[in-house]
């Protein structure tokens, strides 16, 4: 059997009522004849939207087929034992030209009980934000379920939600249960558990082209919401040239920010996991034992667990990457 190599998957472009053009204009990704593009799914194990490989001799195989063949060599023995052929993470770019709905995701326990699915813990890395652009994360102050429901039924939801103005480079972590929404004018990268379970709380009374409003999940959301308030909703960090800076570490994934202006040697054998690189700015090459693969702004690549040592070599004056592993 031929050796594994760094894998690039075909992006899946989704037009959305709130989508825009920045995935094309800012990231240089061609979403074809769609009127807009709200989401670009870069790597997915979600059923009905499982990623298809786009490079090398394995091109055309789905993520599920690849894991079935290569198992721990691809995702790591630890990851394979836990998830089998289901890839555990979903990587996206999201362009909000209009406000997204206020929503919440259930945790593993509730999602398994209701939907036989994983919960959804996620994080955002802001790539671009129009002046004054804001997003929702949680509440202004801690509430009880009863207090929340009273304010919701009185039409005062927006009064109790916490909104944060954001800028490029901001990192925001959403454990399952935290109410959230991306505001208009924001382009971001999203890393999350493999799950598409969403409870829509409020959608600004919007109507589609046929005059219909989208379904709300008021009762389902009640048991999923975490009504507590953390010390800070933004993740504080300082980038350091030519070394990985950890920005999120949870039981589902770890995400680091990398800013490189020189060649970096990577050794991932202790992780027992695949590693994903999302190119945010600039370009680079991944130099591994059997060859070289290029990575440019707007592209995402998966390094199989079996490729334990490799180099990242910037091909522009500098390159900025997100590094993600399970």
Active site residues: 200
Rounded Cα distance between 70 and 288, Å, is 18
- CB count, 10 Å around CB of 136? 22
Residue 100 has what DSSP assignment?
Answer: P
Write down the residue that tokens 């558990």 correspond to: 193
β-partners of residue 187 are 95, 128
β-partners of residue 137 are 180
- CB count, 10 Å around CB of 154? 9
Q: Quick one: tokens of 251?
A: 């039981």
Is 277 within 8 Å of 287 (Cβ atoms)? no
Q: Specify whether the backbone of 224 is left (phi greater than 0), alpha (psi in -120 to 50) or beta.
A: alpha
Count of all residues that appear for the chain in the document: 326
Give the C-alpha distances (Å, rounded to integers) separating 266 from 45, 147, 166, 284, 287: 26, 50, 31, 14, 10
Long-range contacts of 30-37 (CB under 8 A, 24+ apart): 36/95, 36/97, 37/13, 37/95
Rounded Cα distance between 68 and 75, Å, is 11
Nearest residue to 315 (alpha-carbon basis) of 325, 58, 299: 299
Nearest residue to 297 (alpha-carbon basis) of 49, 16, 18, 22: 22
Q: Quick one: tokens of 6?
A: 């760094």
- CB count, 10 Å around CB of 43? 26
Q: Quick one: tokens of 220?
A: 């389902």
């Amino acid at each position: 059997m031929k050796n594994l190599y760094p894998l690039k998957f075909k992006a899946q472009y989704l037009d959305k009522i709130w989508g825009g053009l920045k995935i094309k204009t800012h990231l240089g990704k061609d979403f074809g004849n769609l009127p807009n593009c709200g989401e670009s799914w870069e790597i997915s194990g979600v059923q009905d939207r499982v990623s298809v490989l786009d490079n090398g001799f394995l091109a055309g195989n789905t993520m599920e087929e690849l894991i079935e063949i290569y198992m721990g060599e691809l995702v790591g023995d630890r990851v394979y034992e836990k998830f089998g052929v289901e890839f555990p993470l979903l990587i996206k770019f999201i362009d909000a030209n209009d406000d997204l709905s206020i929503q919440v995701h259930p945790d593993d326990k509730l999602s398994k009980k209701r939907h036989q699915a994983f919960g959804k813990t996620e994080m955002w890395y802001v790539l671009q934000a129009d002046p004054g652009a804001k997003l929702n994360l949680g509440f202004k102050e801690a509430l009880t379920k009863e207090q929340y429901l009273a304010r919701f039924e009185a039409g005062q939801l927006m009064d109790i939600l916490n909104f944060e103005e954001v800028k490029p480079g901001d990192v925001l972590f959403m454990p399952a249960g935290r109410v959230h929404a991306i505001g208009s004018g924001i382009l971001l990268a999203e890393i999350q558990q493999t799950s598409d379970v969403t409870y829509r709380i409020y959608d600004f009374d919007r109507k589609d082209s046929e005059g219909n409003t989208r379904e709300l999940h008021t009762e389902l959301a009640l048991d999923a919401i975490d009504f507590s308030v953390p010390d800070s909703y933004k993740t504080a960090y300082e980038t350091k040239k030519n070394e990985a800076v950890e920005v999120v570490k949870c039981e589902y994934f770890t995400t680091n920010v990398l800013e490189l202006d020189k060649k970096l040697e990577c050794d991932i054998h202790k992780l027992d996991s695949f590693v994903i690189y999302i190119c945010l700015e600039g370009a680079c090459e991944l130099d591994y034992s059997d060859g070289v693969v290029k990575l440019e702004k707007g592209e995402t690549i998966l390094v199989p667990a079996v490729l334990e040592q490799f180099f990242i070599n910037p091909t522009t004056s500098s390159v900025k990457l997100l590094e993600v592993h399970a």
